[in-house]
Amino acid sequence: MSEPARPSADLARARRHLERMGYLRGGLPPSPPTAGQKVVFLLALWVAVSATLVGGALARSGASWAQVSVVALAVAPPVLVVLGAALLAGRAAAARLLAWGGTPRRIATSFAWAAALATLAGIAGSLGRDALGSFEAIMRVAAGAAACAVVAGMAARRALLRELGGEEPFRPPRRRRHLDQLALLAITGAGLGSAVLPRAAPPVVPVAGAFATSAASGRVAVVGVDNLSHGDLDALAAVFPGDDWDELADWGWVEVRGASAALPAVAWTSIACGAPPSEHGVQVMEEVRLFGRSEGVVLPPALRRLVAVVWSPFSAVKVAARPSLDRRLPTFWEMASRAGCPVLVGGWWGSWPVRHVLGDVVSERAWLGGATGADAVSPALAGAVVAAWQQGQEAPAATDLLAEELVRSAASRQGASLVALWLPALDLTTRLGGAAGVMASAARLEPHLRVLRTLVERLENSGYTVWLVGIPRGAGTPFAASRSVLCRGGHGSASAAELVAAWLDQLGLPPPAGGVRPSADLLGRPAVFQPAVDYGPPPIPVVRPSAASATVQREVLRSLGYLR
């Protein structure tokens, strides 16, 4: 038996006219929606799905409404294309199944489930498991995705029943349309609200005295040097025989495992935290700059690829490197500070924004760009930043001048102290000048090398146990050298976690919980095992940096060749 024929347009208009006149009351099936109503519903569904994707991509990122609107504009076209393709494919497939003998009700129900599952899978696949930043954001986006799936499935079933001429249970059309519209409006609001949720505040942990332990008693200085390998020390001893480089080259040293990374921010943070990037959270990401905007946003990989495919032909999207700034683990100087040891930090990656510590910090924001805001430098050292940049003019010279000032301050301190210095001048000079390595332009790098040698000598004369940590450019292996290291000739190796434990031990402090204990080779003496303690999360920032400040910092790094 053949299926009932679909009503003609004239018959549909007559039915709507009789309904308006009040002649058709009771249990008759509702009249089919007009073309305008269909378009409005599809637009509402389109906006709801786009808002859900935007909310998931930017959840808990502190995004501004301007960023939300730009991402929504970039996401909307691919969502519209997918919806259109699904509609055309669904109608064609339903007609084919009907011709093969399928009943309208079974076809409509099957396609309703397919539409719902496809909606869920599409949203989940575009966002990925790492896109969401908090439990509330996950719940909001999950609820929005589920609601989109339910509305899409129900709408697909009703539409197919009308198209195929099957029965449709009676429901007042006006009320049904209002429920759909309200559901999609709620989904849109939840998605956009998730996009601008403020970041969760980290737990507050006291600066010092977080655990019971003996007071720090040692004096340790960790000097990190970019673009320096241990082989360079041997070569410098031959090139500058009268400059005591042979003494540095004769220090015991070990290769550092697990600290190699293309971006210095990632490598130095791994050493500072004694943990890999997957644990401390500072990793190389890719930001998407849309429609010529200088401010980029970070999107989940699948969504980023989708946006790039759509907008790249129009030169409306640019993908650039961007380091994440939210660090989940404390650094070795923050551990020491929390245990009551005064610290002095100069330029080390991961020191921006300045956090509440027992001591003073010149973060990489001030070290590389001369910023003097409260998020970039401790007030006591703001004048030193201004003076160094006025005299040095450019980053290589300014960082050397700042390092000299901090070493003078460290030498005048009495008692226990920890100094963490990062010297990028060798690397910056190479990056800006195009030289291949340290020895390729030794003459041009001689002033910076002389500063390095002088700083190490002053720190040793002031009673500090000095550690020299170098990371070569390219595929070289990082190393750590000190007089206290017993390993000679590079036969030993140590992880970043072992180094952090060794530095804390030489300060008289216990190792961090969950880490490793330093070996006798690193300490130069038998290890005294103290109970490990939990140093807690990173201290809270003195001032949370603004989005504009983060943008400026990324541009400074890009201008210095750190980001491509």
What mean pLDDT comes out for the span 49-53? Answer: 77
Choose between 135 and 102: higher pLDDT: 102
Q: Give phi and psi for 410, each to the nearest 5.
A: -65, -40
* Locus of tokens 């990374």: 261
What mean pLDDT comes out for the span 165-176? Answer: 52
Q: What is the pLDDT of residue 491?
A: 59
Digit-coded pLDDT (tens) for 296-354: 788 877 788 888 888 888 888 888 777 676 788 999 999 999 988 999 999 888 888 89
Q: What is the pLDDT of residue 212?
A: 45
Q: What is the pLDDT of residue 29?
A: 56
Digit-coded pLDDT (tens) for 528-537: 667 888 888 8
Percent of the chain with pLDDT over 90: 17
Distance CA 458, CA 460 (A): 5
Digit-coded pLDDT (tens) for 421-441: 999 888 888 776 655 555 555
Distance CA 291, CA 480 (A): 45
Q: Is the pTM of this model over 0.75?
A: no
Tell me the helices (H) and strands (E) count for the chain, helix number first. Answer: 20, 11
Q: In 3-state terms, the chain is what percent helix, strand and coil (to 5)?
A: 50, 10, 35
Q: Give phi and psi for 345, each to the nearest 5.
A: -120, 130
CB 406 within 8 A of CB 419: yes
Residue 364 to residues 183, 402, 482, Cα–Cα distance (Å): 48, 11, 25
Provide the pLDDT confidence category of residue 197 given band limits of 50, 70 and 90. Answer: low
Choose between 397 and 1: higher pLDDT: 397
Average pLDDT score, the chain: 78
Highest-confidence segment of 104-108, 284-288, 399-403 = 399-403
- Other CB atoms within 10 A of residue 100 CB: 8
For residue 184, pLDDT beyond 70 = yes
Highest-confidence segment of 3-12, 112-121, 471-480 = 471-480
The residue count of the chain comes to 564
Q: What is the pLDDT of residue 210?
A: 46
- For residue 514, give both structure tokens: 């969950």
Beta bridge partners of 256: 494
For residue 239, pLDDT beyond 50 = yes
Q: How would DSSP label each residue in 432-480? A: HHT-SSTGGGHHHHHHHHHHHHHHHHHHHHTT-EEEEEEE-STTPPPEE
Cis bond before residue 511 (omega within 30° of 0)? no
For residue 407, pLDDT beyond 50 = yes
CA angle in degrees (0–180, nearest 5) for 495-496-502: 95
Q: What is the pLDDT of residue 369?
A: 85
